[in-house]
A and B are shown apart, each in its own frame.
Chain A
Amino acid sequence: MTTTVQPTGSGTPTPAASEKRNIIGSVMHLRELPVILALVALVLVTWAINPLFLSPQGVKDMLLNATIVMILAVGQAIVIITRNVDLSVGSILGLVAFGTGTLFVSFPGIPIVAVFILGMVFGALLGAVNGLLVTLAKVPALVITLGTLYIYRGLNNAWAGGTQYFADDRPEAFGNLSVDTVLGFPLITLMAVFVVVIVAIFMAGARSGRDLYAIGSDPDAARVFGIPVTKRVLLAFVANGVLAGLAGVLYTSRFNSVGATTGTGLELDVVAAAVVGGVAIFGGSGSVVGAAFGALLLTTITGALTAVRVDKFWQQAIVGVLILASIVIDRIASVRTARRLRVSEARDV
């Protein structure tokens, strides 16, 4: 179908040269580039000041801290790309984490795999409630998920009451998931990386993944084009629920106690990680890999500040500045793209 636009003129550069320039050009225009550069710079500067930062233990801590927010940010990115948002992830994580703790106490011999599956199914159900409310009632996701943020948290409070489950209540093998390492990488981090890769391939390659971008760019156009918008948005919320469920199970493995307030206030950190990672807040652009790097950057800052002995109180202010910087960078990039498109369209005419 593209054969008709074969360039014929002699003025075009040789294929090899243009390809090379394209690769460099596309790397330069990667939305993930700023966040990756910032992460590399942060790690290098911190390492230069305090070499212990990149010791095996330092790296392990850095990755462990990032794992849970990373998974949540990937899920959030899927939802934000469709021009929605899910503020209830902190509450979903809390419910699933407490559910995981309860499972281990109520069924002492339960296989760990079963716990993972149940946690993700539970998360999927909670995500599906969000998705159904958003798609059927046609109400903005911001409002619906703000409501379910409260409701899920309330359910968690009602369920847990004053009860807390501690690491002693869980089998040692489960806790070891966040202690054991392979080649310096903690097991749960490897799981997170695996998730990122799978979701990234789906978002980049699968038809339904590409549909999510179309919906986020222009929901009406997507509907006219024949994309099942309702189904796809529901899919995005369910996927986010599954990932929040997974994060909930991993949270239980990583942290000592789970209770009524587990995961409170996490939602804005997660949205921030996605935004810092180059996911446009109004949908249609960005990638889950970027969101994962955003999460890694935001969580690494805490460790880096401690390593260079900056007052820990500065951490949150720096996170704020980073979020603002990434929005400004995104705006500059989109203005540039718009200008380039205008120029190239004018030339084509």
Chain B
Amino acid sequence: MSETVTAPPPTGTISALAPKKRSRAARLLLGRDAIMIYALLVFVLYACISIPRFASPVTVGFLLLDVIPVLLIAMPMTLVIITGEIDLSVASIAGLTSALMGVLWQAGLDMPLVLAISVAAGVVAGAFNGFLIAVVGLPSLAVTIGTLALFRGLALVVIGDNAVANFPPDLTAFFTSKIGGTGIPTVMIGVLIVMVFFGVLLHFTPFGRGLYALGYSKEAARFVGIKVARSKFWLYVATGSVSALAGVYWTLRYSSARSDNASGLELAVIAAVLLGGVSIFGGKGSIPGVIAGVLLIGTINYALRLGRVSDVVLIIVTGTLLILSVVTPSIFASVRRWQHDRQVRNSLPQVTTSGSTRAEHPAH
């Protein structure tokens, strides 16, 4: 903030510096994240005005309860995609955690022990991904397709086609409880801690800044002293752990432990992260943008459902948003490139003439 109000340098240099200065403010106010946040605000406003029953604490409660799993997993996923990798196994890890919880609780273990073992399983699963990707050096897309099947398979092995539903009522009630009359779920406090943790980690620590470098160029990152393998390994441990937390939440929120819990969630998470402005090539994206992306999809879905639009349209909306969010910048970029090319051509007219003479040359 303080840099923007420094005294203007004297005379002639002002015009040269002016665009740079504007771009700093513009970057905050017109950047990809800001646009996502505006889109979210505009949509929330529109929904409050035109959709009956939208503007109420009940909305806040149900909307947040629905998006929490995606919101949680999207945080470490953002970091993973920024490094140019991907993790498709997150939903299976959540499912495995859920299955473990069910079986261990059924076996009569204490709840804290059940929770500890289940989350530990998520950490181990993440470390397994991390080992194959960071240490062995296998492509993350292929590895996590494999572990997607493996972890979901282990969930099936653990619990079969049973479902465990007799979790302690006070605990499941806590997971759907609200803070006072605000309608905000109590568990949002925990989610907020996770969000702040990953936000600070990505944007304000050397480790996090290094992830952007890693996403741009692995070689360059290695040369400036970033420990590529170690960073990646811990990121996968992080996705594993947070997916396990999401699995615990899923189990206790719906009060049901089944092997197919959270299945298909990986694609929803990735769609939300990409919509939030993270580049699939790596090197670009931010936590605030992703949070806005997740909430935007969640809000649109909730609003449409309130407006009695069937679930059918919901997935069309998700898909269209996802495609628009990646196609639009690329169209802008190609228009800009075309303009730039035309400018260059106009300013260098001699290029075409020399080119034509050279083309005639070999004919003689």
Q: Which A residues are within 8 Å of any B CB, using their own CB?
A: 85, 87, 133, 137-140, 142-144, 146-151, 153-155, 157-158, 161, 265, 268, 271-272, 275, 281-282, 311, 313-321, 323-324, 327-328, 331
Complexed CA–CA distance, A318 and B153 (Å)? 8
Q: Is the interface of B mostly helix, strand, loop or mixed?
A: helix
For the complex, is B197 an interface residue (Cβ under 8 Å from A)? no
Bound Cα distance from A204 to B281, whole angstroms = 31
Query: Given that A147-B320, A328-B138 are contacting pairs, would A139 and B330 also be in contact in the complex, using a CB cutoff of 8 Å?
Result: yes
Chain A residues within 8 Å of B143, by CB:
324, 327
Shortest Cβ distance from residue B262 to the other chain A in the assembled complex, whole angstroms? 13
Chain B 310-322 interface mask (CB, 8 Å, partner A; 1/0): 1111111111101
B256 contacts the other chain (CB 8 A): no
Contact: A137 with B270, CB < 8 Å? no
* Pair A320/B326 contact, Cβ less than 8 Å: no
Nearest CB in chain B: distance from A299 CB, A:
13
Asked if A151 and B319 sit within 8 Å, CB to CB, the answer is yes
Give CA–CA (A116, B323) in the complex, Å.
Answer: 30
In the complex, what's the smallest C-beta–C-beta distance from A1 to chain B, in angstroms?
23
Interface contact A137-B330, CB-CB below 8 Å:
yes
Cα-based distance from A133 to B323 in the complex (angstroms): 9
**Do B142 and A147 touch across chains, with their CB atoms under 8 A apart?**
no
Contact check, B319 vs A316: say whether CB atoms are below 8 A apart.
no
Report the bound CA distance from A144 to B324 in whole Å.
9
Contact A320 B151, beta carbon cutoff 8 Å = yes
Cβ–Cβ contact B156 & A316, under 8 A: yes
Pair B138/A331 contact, Cβ less than 8 Å: yes
The answer to whether residues A327 and B153 also contact, given A151-B319, A154-B314, A265-B264 and a CB cut-off of 8 A, is no
Contact B142 A315 (CB under 8 A): no
Chain B nearest CB: distance from A73 CB in Å?
13
A150, B149: Cβ atoms closer than 8 Å:
no
Decide: B326 and A321 in contact? CB cutoff 8 A: no
Asked if A158 and B313 make an inter-chain contact with CB atoms under 8 angstroms apart, the answer reads yes
Question: Are the C-beta atoms of A321 and B150 separated by less than 8 Å?
Answer: yes
Q: How far is the CA of A45 from the CA of B304 in the complex (A)?
A: 54
Residue B52 at the chain A interface, CB threshold 8 Å: no
Q: Is B51 an interface residue (CB 8 A)?
A: no
Q: How far is the CA of A148 from the CA of B137 in the complex (A)?
A: 31
How far is it, in angstroms, between the C-alpha of A22 and the C-alpha of B291 when the chains are bound? 57
CB distance B145 to A275 under 8 Å? Answer: yes
Verify if B97 is at the interface (C-beta below 8 Å from A): no
Complex CA gap A328/B272 in Å reads 31
B57 at the interface (CB under 8 A from A): no
Which residues in A have their C-beta under 8 angstroms from that of B274? 143, 146
How far is B152's CA from A138's CA once the two chains are assembled, in angstroms?
33
CB distance from B140 to the nearest CB of A (A): 10
Cβ of B132 and Cβ of A133 under 8 Å apart? no
What are the residues of chain A within 8 A of B326 when measuring CB–CB?
137, 139-140, 143-144, 147
Chain B residues near A316 (CB, 8 Å)?
149-150, 152-153, 156
**CB of B267 within 8 Å of the partner chain:** yes
Given A146-B270, A148-B319, A314-B153, A157 contacting B147 (CB threshold 8 A) = no
A114 to B220 alpha-carbon distance, docked (Å): 57
Mask, B173-194, CB within 8 Å of A = 1, is 0000000000000000000000
Residue in A149, A151, A320 whose beta carbon sits within 8 Å of that of B149 in the complex:
A320
B271 CB–A CB distance under 8 Å: yes
Complex CA–CA separation, A306 to B142 (angstroms)? 27
- A-B contacts, 20 of them at CB < 8 A, read A133-B323, A137-B331, A138-B330, A139-B326, A140-B281, A143-B322, A143-B323, A146-B322, A147-B319, A150-B318, A151-B320, A154-B313, A154-B319, A265-B264, A268-B145, A275-B142, A281-B142, A311-B157, A316-B152, A327-B143
Question: Which of the listed residues A157, A313, A328, A331 has the most CB atoms from chain B within 10 Å of its own CB?
Answer: A313
**Interface: B48 (CB within 8 A):** no
**B153 A319 Cβ-Cβ under 8 A:** yes
CA distance A142 to B139 in the complex (A): 15
The contact of A317 among B137, B154, B161, B317, by CB within 8 Å, is B154
* Chain B hits for A315, CB < 8 A: 153, 156
Q: How far is the CA of A314 from the CA of B149 in the complex (A)?
A: 11
